[in-house]
Amino acid sequence: MTKTRKSSNGAKRPTLQDVAKLAGVSTAVVSYVINDGPRPTSDEMKLRVNKAIKDLNYHPNAYARGLRLKRTKTIGLITYDFSPMSVYMSSYSAGILTGLTGRLREKGYFNLVSPMTIGEDLRPLEELLQSERLDGIVVRPIQAPPATDALLERIAASHIPCVCIERPGADRFGFSAVTYDDRRGAYDATEYLLSQGHRRIGYIRGDTRFVTVHERFAGYQNALRHHRVRYSEEFVWGEDWSDSTTRAGVDHLLSLPEPPTAIFAASDGMAFVVINQLRKRHISVPEEVAVVGFDDIEMASLFVPSLSTVHVPLLEIGQLAADLIIEQVETNPEVPPSTHVLPVQFIRRESA
Amino acid sequence: MTKTRKSSNGAKRPTLQDVAKLAGVSTAVVSYVINDGPRPTSDEMKLRVNKAIKDLNYHPNAYARGLRLKRTKTIGLITYDFSPMSVYMSSYSAGILTGLTGRLREKGYFNLVSPMTIGEDLRPLEELLQSERLDGIVVRPIQAPPATDALLERIAASHIPCVCIERPGADRFGFSAVTYDDRRGAYDATEYLLSQGHRRIGYIRGDTRFVTVHERFAGYQNALRHHRVRYSEEFVWGEDWSDSTTRAGVDHLLSLPEPPTAIFAASDGMAFVVINQLRKRHISVPEEVAVVGFDDIEMASLFVPSLSTVHVPLLEIGQLAADLIIEQVETNPEVPPSTHVLPVQFIRRESA
DNA sequence: GTGAAAGCGCTAACAA
DNA sequence: TTGTTAGCGCTTTCAC
């Protein structure tokens, strides 16, 4: 390979200078034409310049432009989870990511995914924030305000526009947020089970470090209370998402003198394990024990039996977050923060 | 607009100049200290400069540095799929992404995910390539060389180092590649079924536009041939991944005068649907019909019955791709392209 | 309408 | 060793 001009990349890319030279105009005019402003240009200039751009296959250098404009067309997605890479691993966040990346791209923005692990040193984050790489940030904190404050504090201190996804940050940060009504979803699912005549409903809770786990649990309790059905702590199980804990929960529930006739698992993933375990013990679903999940991930409709669950509009969450952050980045007079709570919907399938 | 501070972000970030001023040294020295070269500095300078950096909480502007060095510490991941966002949606690519992002991050690189849709206009890609945002590219083309040539052609023309994942590009591009031996995996899985006494093995193929689909199919055929078991076209079904096609395939196979005793689905997702459909028809798995899948996504071990399948080292694929692309970016004398074929492994579980 | 030129923040020659 | 300074490619003020 011949190494004529540039250090590593072979051919030198044309610059705005080259375009100007070829078109026989000044660099200013080229810039005006490209950006359609801020000064007007004659049609003839436009034509000449555009021809030169085509001929050279010229594309502006994003870094030069970024340096000058302090605008990078890049939005960071920061996740803050216990496992470094659960961003991708769960179908749940895959939905959010898909919505987010898609909408950003439509609007000409790039998406820099940066997964942070809870408890991890925040210095890499600091570096990312201060390096002026990002126009805006979408952050997905899964814990309640106190736990995520350190993270959000750093982001706030950076003065980079930020939108929270799933959980709002503490009010004082003034970040907009896109969340969904998981309490209501759990309420609806529980109410459905009650309407089917179930009076003893086991609840597999999930990792209690997640706020959403508390919200969903509250929905379950509210529904019971509202329908005057006795709530019993022995029906509730779980401190984490693990398969073993979930299976132990099923065993525990079945060992009760009056075992539940339905089990509400606070995530689809756990619901699958619950069904798995019930079947291992030769208990049919939904005939002997009904099971409902939460999230409506793709597999929910595929599973055998298909899973009754609460549909969370994951795609829409991502899209709305993209819209909000771009609005904030592009609007100079800061838009007042807003919190959007998206509705969820109970989906009845075979398992309950 | 007040020129003193910053345009949108309130406080102005400190620059290298500020550090130099505070430390009472020249900007060159600050740069030397930060980058530990290219000129030596005295320990006293190092101390003074580092103190100033701490005091100001200084972090270099990535875009200024990028403009100067032509190095952005950013690797693009370009996927080329039929659906715009299947990157995230499948557990399959989630595994690859996790490995890739994780390793890049460890080595101080950022990851810009850019999903391309097959048939889509390549102009956005062109823009990304020419805008000097990326140090390197990891591309995941799912089709065979001729179909992906246009895409790879553009990448090659940009002279940005590139590594192919899953499928190698045509030789002439000279890209390194990380792939896995899916033909062998299908061979092993088929051989296992044969060893269990199955002689009529249905094959659900998947979307034939994917190269991997052909590879896996070839493995199935090879195993049959090698063991002198009759291959019959009526045992093969499918032109896409859809649930309906898969279900129809099961119905078709069962309707044969001599229906298969085992079904090999070329992806775990389809295997789930196959089992689903078999159960709908009250056929027990694996007693009446054995089922094996391919990929070993997370759900495979969770499913009821747990799925016998071919384990693909998705994480390792991503990690190795990261290693290769960084090596290429950071090594000036171009490293010769290499193709790495990772081994796969048949995992026996309950379904077969 | 157009051109000249001053920087954005950084690195690395070139001087000292 | 350290300081001075010329750019990287772009936008935009200022002059014409």
pLDDT in tens, B304-344: 789 999 999 999 999 999 999 999 999 866 789 999 999 99
Contact B89 A91 (CB under 8 A): yes
How far, in whole angstroms, is CA B237 from its chain's centroid? 27
- Give the whole-angstrom CA distance, residue A203 versus residue A212: 14
pLDDT of residue A243: 87
Query: CA angle, A131 as apex, A128 and A133 as ends, to 5°?
Result: 80
Q: What percent of chain B has pLDDT over 90?
A: 67
Chain B residues whose CB is inside 8 A of the A9 CB are 158-160
The pLDDT of residue B11 is 61
How many cross-chain Cβ pairs, A to B, lie less than 8 Å apart?
156
Q: Is B350 on the interface with A (CB under 8 A)?
A: no
Contact status of A62 with chain B (Cβ, < 8 Å): yes
Residue B33 CB neighbours (<10 A): 22
Alpha-carbon gap: B202 to the closest alpha carbon of chain A (Å): 21
The C-alpha of B224 sits at a distance from chain A's nearest C-alpha, in angstroms, of 30
Residue A313: predicted pLDDT: 95
Residues at the strand D interface (CB under 7 A)? A 12-13, 15-17, 27-28, 30-32, 34-35, 37-39, 60-61, 64-65, 67-69; B 24-29, 32, 39-42, 44-45, 64, 67-68
Instruction: Let me know: does B204 contact B273? Beta carbons within 8 Å.
Output: no
- Find, in chain A, the residue whose alpha carbon is nearest to that of B124: A108
Contact residues, chain A, for B62 at CB < 8 Å: 131-133
For B182-222, the pLDDT digits (tens) are 999 999 999 999 999 999 999 999 999 888 999 999 999 99
pLDDT tens, residue by residue, B272-298: 999 989 988 999 999 999 999 999 988
Give per-residue pLDDT as tens, B45-94: 888 899 999 999 999 999 999 999 999 999 999 988 887 667 676 777 88
Question: Of A194-198, B94-98, B151-155, which gets the smallest average pLDDT?
Answer: B94-98
Q: Which two tokens stand for residue A188?
A: 């609806």
Contacts of A190 (CB under 8 A, 6+ apart): A201, A219, A220, A223, A224, A264
The predicted-structure confidence for B171-182, as pLDDT tens digits, reads as follows: 999 999 999 999
**Tokens 């942070």, residue located:** A116
| Whether residue B5 has pLDDT greater than 70 | no
pLDDT (tens digit per residue) in B246-268: 999 999 999 999 999 999 999 99
Number of H helices, E strands in chain A: 13, 12
* Mean pLDDT (chain B, rounded): 90
Q: What are phi and psi of B309, to 5 degrees?
A: -160, 175
- The answer to whether B331 contacts chain A (CB < 8 Å) is no
Q: Find, among A246, A230, A250, the residue nearest to A238 by Cα.
A: A246
- Amino acid B85: pLDDT: 67
Q: Verify whether the Cβ–Cβ distance B63 to A63 is below 8 Å.
A: yes
Nucleotides of D strand lying within 7 Å of any protein CB atom: 1-14
- Going from the C-alpha of A53 to that of each of A29, A73, A305, B70, B153, the distances in angstroms are 13, 22, 59, 22, 21
Which of A132, A246, A295 would best serve as a mutation to test chain B binding (most B beta carbons within 10 A)? Answer: A132
Nearest to A332 by CA among B4, B9, B11: B9
Q: Token digits for A309?
A: 């669950």
Distance CA B263, CA A284 (A): 25
| Window 291-330 of B, Cβ < 8 Å to A | 298-299, 302-304, 329
CB-based contact (8 Å) between A174 and chain B? Answer: no
**Per-residue pLDDT averaged across B14-40, rounded?**
89
Q: Is B202 left (phi over 0), alpha (psi -120 to 50) or beta?
A: beta
CA angle, residues A286, A289, A290, in degrees to nearest 5 = 55
Task: Enter the pTM of the model.
Answer: 0.89
DSSP state of A340: E
Residuewise pLDDT in 10s, chain A (352 residues): 222 233 333 467 899 999 998 999 999 999 999 988 788 888 888 888 999 999 999 999 999 999 999 999 999 999 888 876 676 767 778 888 889 999 999 999 999 999 888 888 888 899 999 999 999 999 998 887 778 888 999 999 999 999 999 989 889 999 999 999 999 999 999 999 999 999 999 999 999 988 899 999 999 999 999 999 999 999 999 888 888 999 999 999 999 999 999 999 999 999 999 998 998 899 999 999 999 999 998 889 888 789 999 999 999 999 999 999 999 999 866 789 999 999 999 999 999 9
Strands A136-141 and A176-180: unpaired
3-state class (DSSP) for residue A231: coil
For chain A, the C-alpha Rg in angstroms (whole number) is 26
CA of B271 to C1' of C2 (A): 67
CA of B19: nucleotide with nearest C1': C9
Contact B266, B274 (CB under 8 A): no
| Whether B89 and A88 lie within 8 Å, measured CB to CB | no
Return the residue of B nearest to A102 by Cα.
Answer: B85
pLDDT computed for residue A242 by the predictor: 87
Distance between the alpha carbon (CA) of B299 and the C1' atom of C4, Å: 65
